[in-house]
Amino acid sequence: MSKGSSNVLAFVIGAATGAILGILYAPDKGSNTRDKLSYQLDKYKKQLEDLLEDLINGKHEIASEAKSEGEKVVSEARLKAEQLLTDVDNLIGQIKSGDKN
């Protein structure tokens, strides 16, 4: 989990805890308190679900980006290896032709 998403998650948890404690200690009827608490929990549940969805979607984008970068690196390495093989073949050819002289 990235640092930014950890901070957002900590903020959401802190806000939910503060809201719950504030509602529980407020001088109000039990039924009103339960209704308020239920409303707040539903609200924070939705925010947490949205955050989780963003993290999951972001993770797929990062994995996809990493995969494409990895494929690019492998492709470049393959091209360089092929060029090195060609250079080695040329050097071997030069060495063999020098032995014949």
- Per residue of the chain (101 residues), give pLDDT as tens: 566 667 777 787 888 788 777 777 777 777 777 777 777 777 877 777 777 777 677 665 666 777 788 888 888 888 888 888 888 877 887 777 765 55
pLDDT given at position 99: 58
Q: How many CA atoms lie within 13 A of 95 on its CB side?
A: 6
pTM here is 0.37
- CA quadruple 92, 94, 98, 101: dihedral, nearest 10: 120
pLDDT given at position 9: 75
- For tokens 């092929």, name the residue: 82
